[in-house]
């Protein structure tokens, strides 16, 4: 079937938009032989926008559907006791759309990971690592910087080890399990050393006292004026 030239079809779409701006772009496109994209361009040029449009099936749909769905999502989150009809009436959507929004919320709650919570009595490694990074006693020493690197690797590898455990080949599980136990033993030794009394561990070794009657060390090895050692004094 021969269609009129494109300018004539655009002019026809413009006349429809001036008289029936509530018609949807697809409905006007079917009537004038234009694509929905072309009809939308004509609508934007004329500025004939409406809050709701009538589709080919005769149903009225809001043009700001995404914004209304967002308001419905916020309303369901803030007031979960509301029914679907109450939410739909409050934001101007259909109950079917409200049901779809609630289903999306339920799916999101199942797929999103739970927020990070530290059990009572346990140390938050992320917070501890952040504190150590700002501690000059740790940051300005070589061993402190090595400790920061090891803790950083340990913090980011904890969840990875748990996920990888399910994918280790069966014939390698026993060997890797023993390897993990040995590393756990190293961490236990590290914890035991940290639990020790630091003053007792760092206490300097005292020298034995000088025997009674023995001259002081400076007089036990006197030197002659020429710098040669003289005869050593004998302790009684």
For residue range 93-105, what is the model confidence (pLDDT) as tens digits? 888 888 988 888 8
Lowest mean pLDDT among 63-67, 136-140, 155-159, 169-173: 155-159
Q: What percent of the chain has pLDDT over 90?
A: 13
Examine the pLDDT at 58 and tell me if it is beyond 70: yes
pLDDT in tens, 188-221: 888 888 888 665 444 443 344 444 444 444 444 4
**What pTM, to 2 d.p., does this model score?**
0.35
Helices 65-78 and 84-91, packing angle to 10 deg: 130
- Count the Cβ atoms, other than its own, within 10 Å of residue 93: 21
CB 213 within 8 A of CB 219: no
For the chain, what are the domain ranges? 6-61, 65-111, 125-185
Please give the pLDDT value at position 12. 93
Q: Among 23-37, 156-170, 175-189, which stretch is predicted with the lowest mean pLDDT?
A: 156-170
The confidence score (pLDDT) of residue 68 equals 80
Asked whether the predicted pLDDT for residue 48 surpasses 70, the reply is: yes
The pLDDT confidence band at residue 117, using thresholds 50, 70 and 90, is: low
The pLDDT value recorded for residue 122 is: 59
User: Phi-psi category of 121—alpha, beta or left, where left has phi over 0 and alpha has psi -120 to 50?
Assistant: left
State percent of the chain over pLDDT 70: 73
Report the pLDDT value the prediction gives residue 112, as an integer from 0 to 100.
52
Q: How far apart are CA 158 and CA 180, in angstroms?
A: 12
Distance CA 140, CA 196 (A): 23
- Determine which of 31-35, 58-62, 68-72, 226-230 has the lowest per-residue pLDDT on average: 226-230
| Cα–Cα dist 94/102, whole Å | 13
Q: Could you tell me which residue, 25 or 228, shows the higher pLDDT?
A: 25
Kindly write down the DSSP assignment for every residue of the chain, as one continuous string.
Answer: -PPPPHHHHHHHHHHHHHH-TTB-HHHHHHHHT--HHHHHHHHHHHT---SEEE-TTS-EEES-HHHHHHHHHHHHHH-TTS-HHHHHHHHT--HHHHHHHHHHHHHHHHHSPPPP-PPTT---HHHHHHHHHT-HHHHTSHHHHHHHHHHHHHHHHHHHHHHHHTTS-GGGHHHHHHHHHHHHHHHHHHHHHHHS-HHHHTPPPPPPPPPTTPPPHHHHS-B-TTS-B-PPPPP-
On average, the pLDDT of the chain sits at 76
Report the pLDDT value the prediction gives residue 18, as an integer from 0 to 100. Answer: 92
Work out the number of other CB atoms within 10 angstroms of the CB of residue 169: 7
Which stretch, 42-46, 67-71, 122-126, has highest mean pLDDT? 42-46
Backbone angles phi, psi at 54, to 5 degrees: -95, 125
């Amino acid at each position: 079937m021969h269609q009129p030239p494109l300018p004539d079809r655009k002019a026809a779409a413009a006349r429809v938009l001036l008289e029936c701006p509530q018609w949807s772009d697809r409905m006007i496109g079917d009537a004038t032989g234009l694509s929905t994209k072309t009809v939308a361009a004509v609508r934007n040029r004329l500025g004939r926008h409406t809050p709701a449009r009538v589709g080919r099936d005769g149903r009225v749909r809001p043009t700001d559907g995404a914004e209304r769905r967002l308001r419905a999502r916020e309303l369901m989150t803030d007031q979960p006791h509301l029914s679907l009809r109450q939410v739909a009436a409050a934001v101007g959507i259909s109950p079917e759309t409200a049901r779809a929004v609630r289903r999306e919320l339920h799916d999101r709650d199942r797929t999103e990971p739970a927020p990070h919570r530290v059990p009572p009595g346990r140390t938050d490694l992320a917070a501890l690592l952040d504190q150590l990074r700002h501690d000059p006693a740790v940051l300005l020493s070589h061993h402190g910087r090595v400790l920061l690197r090891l803790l950083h690797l340990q913090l980011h590898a904890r969840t990875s080890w748990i996920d990888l455990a399910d994918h280790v080949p069966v014939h390698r599980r026993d060997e890797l399990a023993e390897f993990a136990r040995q590393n756990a033993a190293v961490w236990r030794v590290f914890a035991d050393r940290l639990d020790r009394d630091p003053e007792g561990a760092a206490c300097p070794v005292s020298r034995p006292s000088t025997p009674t009657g023995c001259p002081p060390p400076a007089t036990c090895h006197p030197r002659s004026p020429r710098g040669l050692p003289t005869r050593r004094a004998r302790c009684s």
